[in-house]
């Protein structure tokens, strides 16, 4: 049995997971930058039309980077839509 082959594959997995996690955090950071930019161009009336408030944006953007801010915004809009 060739032990070096197994060790090489295991070593790549050990390095691969943190890189993928870092890439996910960078993607979330970029997504939040897009949300912030869109918020600057969006009026409070338009936010209300899509079921959000400025406070929803603040709450979503203040979450840790390992959580998806856009998911929080979708949940906030869905919860508010149920109140109609």
41 in a structural domain: yes
Task: Write down the residue that tokens 């390992």 correspond to.
Answer: 66
Domain that holds residue 40: 24-81
Sequence-separated contacts (24+) of 19-25 with Cβ below 8 Å: 24/66, 25/65, 25/66
Please tell me the total count of domains within the chain. 1
Q: Is residue 10 part of a domain?
A: no
Residues 47 and 35: their CA atoms lie apart, in Å, by: 12
Tell me whether residue 70 is in a domain: yes
Q: What is the model's pLDDT at position 11?
A: 61
- The one-character DSSP state at 82 is T
Question: In sequence order, which residues have a C-beta less than 8 Å from that of residue 39 and are 6 or more positions away?
Answer: 54, 57
* 5 domain-assigned: no
Q: What digits encode the pLDDT tens for the residues 34-62?
A: 999 988 888 999 999 989 999 999 999 99
Q: Is residue 1 part of a domain?
A: no
Q: Residue 15 falls within a domain, yes or no?
A: no
Mean pLDDT on 27-32: 94
């Amino acid at each position: 049995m060739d032990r070096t082959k197994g060790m090489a594959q295991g070593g790549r997995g050990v390095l691969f997971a943190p890189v993928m996690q870092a890439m996910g955090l960078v993607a979330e950071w970029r997504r939040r930058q897009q949300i912030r930019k869109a918020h600057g161009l969006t009026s409070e009336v338009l936010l209300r039309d899509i079921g959000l408030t400025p406070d929803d944006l603040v709450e979503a953007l203040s979450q840790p980077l390992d959580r998806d801010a856009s998911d929080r915004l979708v949940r906030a809009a869905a919860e508010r839509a149920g109140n109609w």
